[in-house]
Structure 1
Amino acid sequence: MRPRLKQYAVSIAMLFLSIGSITVARAGDTTMHAVNGVMDLRNTNLSGNIVSLNGEWGLYWEQLLTAINDSSGKLTSYVAFPVKWANTIVAGKPLPAKGYASYSLTVLLPKKRPALGLEVPDTYSSFQLYLNGKLFAAAGKPGTSKETTIPHWEEKTIQLDDDLDTLHLVLQVANFHHSKGGPYKEIKVGDYDTLFYKRQETQAYDLLLTGCLFMGGLFFFGLYLFGRHDKVILFFSLFCLFYSYRIIGSGYYVLHTLFPGLSWVTTIHLEYLSLFISVAFFTLYTLYLYPKDANRYIMWVEIWACLSLAAVVIIFPPTVFTQLISPFLAVMFSVIAYAFYVYIKAVRNRRLGAPYALISTAVVLLVFVIINLQYFGFVKPQKALLFTGYISFFFLQSLILSFRFAYTLNKAKKDAEEGLRAKSDFLSNMSHEIRTPLNSVIGISHMLLEEKPRKDQEERLQVLLFSANSLLSIVNDILDYNKIDAEKIRFEKIEMDLSGIARNIIGGLQSAADDKGIELRLKIDDAFINRVIGDPTRTAQVISNLVQNAIKFTKEGFVQLEIKREVVNYDNVTVTVSVTDTGIGIEPEKQGLIFERFSQADTSTSRRFGGTGLGLAICKKILSLQGSSLQLKSEPGKGSTFWFTQTFPISHLALSEETRQPALVVSKDGRKPLDSIRILLVEDNEVNILVARSFLEKWGATIDVARNGQEALDMVDPEKHRIILMDMHMPVMDGFKATAMLRQKGIRLPIIALTANLPHETAPGLAGLDVREIIVKPFVPDDFLRVILHYTGSSAGN
C-alpha cells in the first residue's frame, strides 16, 4: 500500500473507532422500570433529570380508552413499552401491524420536584395521550378503521400541572396507513426546562443542518447554471437539495412540528422519495466525478435500483412502499461500499480531490451506521455526532468541488490566454501579410503620382492611394484594439507639444475637409504655453480619431478642435480637448452604443460612411487607461461634441515660436538629397525592393540589394555603405540574427529596421542590438527620407 493511502486508511480507521464512544443501550435498559402498569418515582430526584417511562404498560388491544378506570376497558396483557406491534407477543402471537389499541401506565411522582413536563414522541401512525382522563397531547386522530383514522407524526413537549402527584396515562394508538404499527419511541418525564431545551437543541441541529445542505445545494446549482454546466456540480447540488428534506422531514419530524397542517400522505411520500433519489444522485455524482475509476455498469445498476424504489413510492400507497426500507438499506450500503472502492482507486491514481472524497465517504458510512443502530434501537440518539458527521461530509465534498471548480477556472483561464496569444499571433501574421503588399501599392502609387501623370490618371491614382490608406487604417485599428483589449499597451512619459500635435493633425486632415467643403477650425487657449509630459503618439491618435470621425459624419458646416486650459499649478495642468461638428448628430438612446467595438449609431452608417466602428472604442480605452474618459453631447441633425479632460505633468519648458510651427517637409524641387550615399538594402520581397529602390535612387542614393541576412553579412562594406536598411522577416537568416552578427563583427553602421509588424512587436527582438530606428511598412516616402537623412548626416532642401 502506498504511504499516502496508508495515511488515509489510518484517518478512516480513527473515524470508525469513534463508534466505540457511542453509549450503547437497549431500549429497556433504564434505571427506572414500570411493573404491571405502575412506575414509582416518589423517591427519584427529578431536578435536572429525565426518566424514560419504559417497562410494562397495560395493553388494551382493539380498544380506545380515555381512562384506566374506564368500565368498558378489558386488559389484554402487560407488555413491554415502547415496542412495535410486530414485536409485541400476545397469547403467543405477534400483534398485526394494522389495528388500534390503548396503553395505560400509572406514574407516582415525588412530592419535592421542579416543574415537570412530558415528552411525547410520534407513533405509527397516530396517537392521543390522555392524562387523568383529559386529552393531553395528540398527533393525528386514532380510529377503529382506515376511514376514521387520521395519521400524523409530531413530537410534543408539554408542561405538567404543579399540583399533580399521580399521572394516570392512557395512550391511544391506531395504524391503518403504514406497514408498521405501534409505539417505538420512549415517552419521558422530567424537569420541564431540561426537556424543553433538549428539544430546542435537537430542532436547532436539524434546522441548521437542513439550512446548510439546502443553501449549499442552491449555491452549487447556481454554479452549474451560470458556470460551465459541469454535471458533477449538478448532481451534488441535487443530492444536497433532496437530502436536506430528509433531515427536517424525518427523525424528529421538525417540519411536521413547524407546519402541523401538512398532509401526512404527502410528507411520507416526500420522506421516502428524498431518501431514494438522493442516493441515486450521490451515485451519479461519484460516477461523473471519477469516471475513469468507476465501473459504469455497476453504478447504473445501483442508480436504477434507487429509481425503481422511487417509482414504487410514487405508484403505491404507504402501506406498500414503507416496507422497502430493508431492501433500500442493502442498496445504500452497496452504494457506499462501491463508492469507497472508487475513491480508493481515485486516490491511487492521484485524481483531483480524491483523498477528501475517500474520507468523506468514510464519514457518511459512519453516519448511516449510527442512524441504523438508532433505528433498530441498539444505541441512544447521537445528535451532536450525526450533526458533526453530516457537516464534515458536506465540507469535504465541497472541498472536492471547490478544487474542481478552481481547476476548471484555471484551465479556462489558460485556454483563454492561449486563445488570446493565438489571436495576437494571427493578427500579427495577418498584419505582416497585409502590410507587405500594401507597402507596394502605396509606394508605387506615390511613385506614379510624382511622375506627372495625366489628369485622369492622377485622379485614379489618388483613389487608389486613398483606398490603400483606408485599408491600412482599418488594419491599424484592429491591431490597436486587440493590443489595448489585451491590456498590453504601454504609455510613454516624455515631453510633448500638445499645441503642435493639434496643428499637425489639422494640417494633415485639411485636404479631407476641403474635399467635403467643410471648414476645419483650430482653437487653442492663449494661456496654454507649456510643454507637458505624456504619450504624444497616443494623444495624437485620440485627437486624430475624433477629428477624422467628425469630418466623416459632417456634410456641411465646420469641425472645430479646441484645446482649453482648465486648472494649472506648478506641477500639473488640466486640459480639456474637444471636437465639435455640425454633422448628423446622434440620438440619445444610441449615444452609449457608439463607444462599443464594431458598433455605430446606425447600421446604415456603415454603408454610407464606412469604417470599422473601432475608432471611438479605441479612444475610450486609451483615455480610460490614462484615468480620463471620453464624453459626448449630441443632438440629431445639429451635430456633436466629443471631449475629454486630462491632467498632464508640466515640463516647465516654454514653447518657442519655432515649436509652434508645423514640421518642415522635404523639398520636392528635383534635388537629390541622398546623392553619393551608398545604401545596403536587405529585403526578400521583390516588389518591396522595387518600391524602395525606386525612391532611394530617385533621391540620388546608390543601392546594393541583399535578399537575406546571410547575403547581407557577405556584402556589407563599412567603407562603402553609409546605412543598412534591414527587413526583419526573411528566409535563410532573418534580420534579427543578421543584425546581431553584424554587431558581433564590430560593424557599427546605422541599421534601420524595416518591418510589416508593429514597433512594439519588433522592438523586444532588437533589444541591445543598437538598431537606430524602426520603420513600419507601408512607409510614407517623406518620413522614410527624413530618417535616412538623419542617420547619414545629410540635409534636405527647403
Structure 2
Amino acid sequence: MKIKKYSLSLFICFFCCLTSVHAARKIPFPVAVDGVIDLRGQSFVNSIPLNGAWFFYWNELINPGDSAIHAGKLVDFPFLWTDSNQYPAFGYATYRVKVLLPRHTEPLRIGLKEAYCAYKLFINGKLVALNGKVSTDKANFVPYWEYKGIDVENGIDSLDVILQVTNFAHSKGGIKKSLILGLKETISLERKRTEAIDLLLTGCLLMGGMFFLGLYLLGNRDKAILLFSLYSIVYSYRIFGIDSYVLHSIFPGMNWQITTRLEYISLFLGIGLFGWYTRHLYPEDINKKIVYTICLLCLIFSLLVLVLTPFYFSQLLNPFLVVMLFCLVYVPYVYSVAFVRERPGAIYTLMSSFALMPVFAITLLNYWGIIPQFQLLSFICYVSFFFLQSLILSNRVSFTLKKAKIEAEQGLVTKSEFLSTMSHEIRTPLNAVIGMSHLLLKNNPRKDQVEQLDVMLFSANNLLSIVNDILDYNKIEAGKITFERIAMDVAAIARNIVSGLQTSAQDKGIDLYIKVDDALTSKLLGDPTRLTQVISNLVHNAIKFTQDGYVEVGIEVRSQTDTEVILTILVKDTGIGISEEKQKVIFERFTQADSSTSRGFGGTGLGLAISKRILELQDSDLCLESEEHKGSVFYFTQTFEKTLNLHEHLNINQSPEEDKPLTGIHILLVEDNLMNVIVAQKYLEKWGATIDVAFNGLEALNKLDIHKHKLVLIDLHMPVMDGYEATQKMREKGFTIPIVALTANLPEEIAARVKEVGMDDFILKPFLPDELYRKVIHYVFTKQ
C-alpha cells in the first residue's frame, strides 16, 4: 500500500511540475478581438498563435468575396464545434479572422496542423492550403490530415484569413490546434526539428523492436522479449503516424480510413502488449486478473476499431483513457514490488517507469489542452524508457545465460560423477575377468582352452580400452589431464606395442614391424603412459583399416643435441586410405571416415581425437598423409629432453613366476567383491603369501594384527565402513603398516584423499599381475 501511495504521489508531483513549467513559459501573445488580431507591434522573435475571438459560420462554406448568409458567431479559436454541445459532429463551417501586420522585411510563414477532417485555407482571397476534399455532403467529402506551411507575401500589412472545415467521418468536428504565425526560418526550423525527433525516435523503436524480435526468433524463446519487441514495433507508429503526422508528409495521399484505424489500434494494442509484457517480466509480482482484464479490454477496443466506422471508434478514446491512467499508476507499483523483492533487473524497470510516466502524463495533459506538447522532453523520456527496458532484457538474457552456464556446469559435474561411477562399476567386474583369464593362462591350459582364453582376454581388454577412451576424452574436455615427466625408453615402448598387437595383425594376414633410428641412444623425459596411448591408438587403427599389406611403426631422429632430441614417430599402413574431404573430420570425436550404419569397422571414433588432443597439450600435432585405396601415414614430431644413455641402464627382471618371494608374508586383503577377492588371493598365494580376508573396513580393523600382517590391500568403496575411514582409524591408532588401496576409480579422483587419510599408494583395477607384484614387493620389503 505504501508503494502504491508513493507512485501516486510521484505522479501528482510530476503533474504539478509540468503545469508550473507551462505557467512559467507562458508568454502573453496578442489575441483576436471581434475577429481582428493586431500584430503591428510584434517583432516575431517568438512565433505567435493566431488565437482569440474568430467569426464562426455554421453550415456555411464562405469563399473569398462571398457574403455570409447568416451573421457570424464569435468563438474562441481554435474551436471544436462538437465541444460546445451546440452542433452535431457531422457538418461544415467557416472560420474567419483579420490579422494586422507590421511593415516587415523578413519573410513570414503560417504553420497549420490537422483539422477534423478536411479544410481549405484562403488568405487575402487566394487558396493557399488544401487538406482532403471539402464538401457540403458526405458523398463528395474526402478526409485527410497533413501539416501545411504557408508563406506570407512580403509587403502586405494585413491578412484576411478564411478557413473552411468539413467533417463527415470523425466524432469531432472543427479545428483543435492553433495556426502559428512567425518568421519563415523559425517556423521551418521548428517543423524540421519536430520531424527529425519523430523520425529518430521511430527509427530507435523499430530497430530495437526488430533486434529483440530477432533475438527471440534466433534462440532466446523468452516471451517477455517477444512481447517487448512487438510493443516497440506497434508503438513506433504512434510516434510518426499521429500528432505531427510526419508519415502523412512523407507519403501524402495515404488512405485516411486506414491511417486513422492504425492510430487507434496502435494505442490500444500498445497498452495491452505492454501489460502482457509486464506480466511475463514479473509473473510473481503482478495480479494476473488485473492484467488479463487490461489486455482483454485492449483487445476488445482494437477489434471495435476494425469493425466500427471512425465516428464510433473515435469516441472510444475517452473511456480508454481510464485504462491508461490506471496503467500509469499500476505499472510503477508492480515494478516497485519487484524492486523490493529484489527481482533481477528490477532497478531498471523501476527507473524506466519513472521515465515512462512523464510521457503518458504529457500526452494526456496535452490532449486535454492543459500543457503544450513538450516534444524534446518527451523524446528524452522515450529514449530513457527504451534504453532502460533494453537493459532489463539484456540483464534477463544475461541472467538466463548465467543460469544455463551453471546448469551446464552442473551437468558436467553430473556427467563426470556418472562416468566415474560407470568406471568403477565396469572396472570392478573386469578386474575379475582379466585376472582370472591371466591365472588360467598360467595354469598350463589345453591348446583349445588357450585360444578361448585369448579371445576372452582380448574382448575384456577391448572393453577396458573403450571405457578408458571415454573417460580420457572426458578428462581432456574438463581440462583435468596431467602429464608425467619421467625417464622412458621410447623404442622399448614402441616395440612392446608392436609385440602386443602382433597377434591382431597376424589374424588379418598382414605384417606388423618397427623401424627405430640407430641415432636414438638415450632415454627421454616424458609421459610413457600417454605416449603408449597415442602410439597404440595409431597402430590399432592402422591394423583395423588394413586388409592386406603391412603396418609399419617408425621412429626417426630429426635432430638432437646433448640435452634434447626431436623425434618423428609415424605409423604407416597400406589400408583403405582416407579421401581428402574426410581427412579434416576424422580427428573429431565420435567420427570415422565411414560414419554410415553399414560401416565395416567398429570402434568409438574417439581414438584419433584423444591422440590429437594429448599431442596438442604437449605442443605437438598429429598429422596425416593419405591417398584413398593406397594407405595412410599418421605422424607427429615432438621434442624430448634427454636423460641417461640407454646402455647405462640395467635390465631389471621383474617377478619370476617360478619363485615364491612372499613365502611367510601375511597380507590383510579388504574387499567386498568376492570375485576380486578370489583374483587377488590367487595371485598373492601363487607368490607364496598368506592371505587374511575382510569384507569391510570395520571387519578389517578387528582382524588387523600389526605383529603378523606386513601389508594391507584395501578397497575404497565398501559397505559398513569404507577404505578411507578404515585407513584413517588405523593411522589414528598409530599403525604404521603399509596400506595400499585397490580401486576402480580414476587416479585424479582419489589421489589427494588417499594421501590425506594416510594410504601409501593405490593400484587401479583391473590390475595386471606385474603391477600388483611390484607394488606388493616394494611395500613388503622396502617399507618395513
Structure-2-length-normalised TM-score: 0.90
Partners of 2:728 and 2:758 within 8 A in 1: no
Matched length: 782
Equivalent of residue 82 in structure 1, options 78, 83, 101: 78
* Residues 763 and 171 of structure 1: CA distance in aligned 2, closer, same or farther (over 3 Å): same
Give the structure 2 partner of residue 475 of structure 1: 467
CA RMSD of aligned residues (A): 3.4
Shift of 1:283: 1.9
Written as runs of structure 1 = structure 2, the 5 A alignment for 1:22-421 is: 22-24=21-23, 30-47=28-45, 49-64=46-61, 68-70=64-66, 76-87=72-83, 94-157=86-149, 159-354=151-346, 356-421=348-413
Question: 2-side partners of 1:253 and 1:774: how far apart?
Answer: 83
Unaligned runs of 5+ in 1: none
Equivalent of residue 433 in structure 2, options 441, 450, 467: 441
Question: 2-side partners of 1:417 and 1:286: how far apart?
Answer: 31
Moved more, 156-165 or 315-324: 156-165
Written as runs of structure 1 = structure 2, the 5 A alignment for 1:758-777 is: 758-777=746-765
Give the structure 1 partner of residue 710 of structure 2: 722
Moved more, 693-702 or 781-790: 781-790
Give the structure 2 partner of residue 732 of structure 1: 720
Shift of 1:446: 0.9
2:780 pairs with 1:788: no
Give the structure 2 partner of residue 559 of structure 1: 551
Question: 1-side partners of 2:405 and 2:234: how far apart?
Answer: 33
Question: 1-side partners of 2:7 and 2:333: how far apart?
Answer: 13
Give the structure 2 partner of residue 651 of structure 1: 641
The one-letter code sitting in structure 2 at the alignment partner of 1:189 is: L
Partners of 2:104 and 2:155 within 8 A in 1: no
Give the structure 2 partner of residue 681 of structure 1: 669
Give the structure 2 partner of residue 751 of structure 1: 739
Shift of 1:581: 2.3
The one-letter code sitting in structure 2 at the alignment partner of 1:683 is: E
Question: 1-side partners of 2:109 and 2:562: how far apart?
Answer: 84
> Over residues 609-661 of structure 1, what are the superposed CA-to-partner deviations in whole Å (9 max), with x where a residue is unaligned?
22122222323443455555544443332223334455x4x5353643467x9
2:660 pairs with 1:672: yes
> Over residues 204-246 of structure 1, what are the superposed CA-to-partner deviations in whole Å (9 max), with x where a residue is unaligned?
3322322333333233333433445222332222222211222
* Residues 543 and 118 of structure 1: CA distance in aligned 2, closer, same or farther (over 3 Å): farther
Moved more, 441-450 or 504-513: 504-513
Equivalent of residue 689 in structure 2, options 685, 694, 701: 701
Shift of 1:523: 4.5
Give the structure 1 partner of residue 538 of structure 2: 546
Moved more, 716-725 or 373-382: 716-725
* Residues 420 and 214 of structure 1: CA distance in aligned 2, closer, same or farther (over 3 Å): same
Partners of 1:46 and 1:113 within 8 A in 2: no
* Residues 407 and 749 of structure 1: CA distance in aligned 2, closer, same or farther (over 3 Å): same
Partners of 1:530 and 1:651 within 8 A in 2: no
Give the structure 1 partner of residue 444 of structure 2: 452
Partners of 1:119 and 1:187 within 8 A in 2: yes
* Residues 360 and 343 of structure 1: CA distance in aligned 2, closer, same or farther (over 3 Å): same
Question: 1-side partners of 2:10 and 2:468: how far apart?
Answer: 62
Q: Secondary structure at the match of 1:767?
A: helix
Question: 2-side partners of 1:579 and 1:563: how far apart?
Answer: 9
Question: 2-side partners of 1:501 and 1:685: how far apart?
Answer: 34
Question: 2-side partners of 1:14 and 1:499: how far apart?
Answer: 88
Written as runs of structure 1 = structure 2, the 5 A alignment for 1:589-608 is: 589-604=581-596, 608=600
> Over residues 675-733 of structure 1, what are the superposed CA-to-partner deviations in whole Å (9 max), with x where a residue is unaligned?
44332222121111100011111122222222222333333344443332221112222
* Residues 624 and 263 of structure 1: CA distance in aligned 2, closer, same or farther (over 3 Å): farther
Question: 2-side partners of 1:7 and 1:497: how far apart?
Answer: 81
Q: Secondary structure at the match of 1:595?
A: coil
> Over residues 66-99 of structure 1, what are the superposed CA-to-partner deviations in whole Å (9 max), with x where a residue is unaligned?
6x335688764443322222135xxxx7333223
* Residues 759 and 128 of structure 1: CA distance in aligned 2, closer, same or farther (over 3 Å): same
Question: 1-side partners of 2:175 and 2:561: how far apart?
Answer: 90
Shift of 1:590: 3.8
Partners of 1:22 and 1:382 within 8 A in 2: no
Unaligned runs of 5+ in 2: none
Q: Secondary structure at the match of 2:646?
A: coil
Moved more, 401-410 or 728-737: 401-410
Q: Secondary structure at the match of 1:94?
A: coil
Equivalent of residue 628 in structure 2, options 636, 641, 647: 636
Partners of 1:581 and 1:641 within 8 A in 2: yes
Moved more, 228-237 or 264-273: 228-237
Q: Secondary structure at the match of 1:749?
A: coil
Shift of 1:573: 6.7
The one-letter code sitting in structure 2 at the alignment partner of 1:300 is: Y
Partners of 1:41 and 1:108 within 8 A in 2: yes
Partners of 1:495 and 1:651 within 8 A in 2: no
Shift of 1:164: 4.7
Identity %: 51
* Residues 729 and 280 of structure 1: CA distance in aligned 2, closer, same or farther (over 3 Å): same
Partners of 2:551 and 2:574 within 8 A in 1: yes
Question: 1-side partners of 2:383 and 2:147: how far apart?
Answer: 25
Moved more, 434-443 or 169-178: 169-178
Question: 1-side partners of 2:629 and 2:185: how far apart?
Answer: 82
Partners of 1:131 and 1:170 within 8 A in 2: yes
The one-letter code sitting in structure 2 at the alignment partner of 1:757 is: N
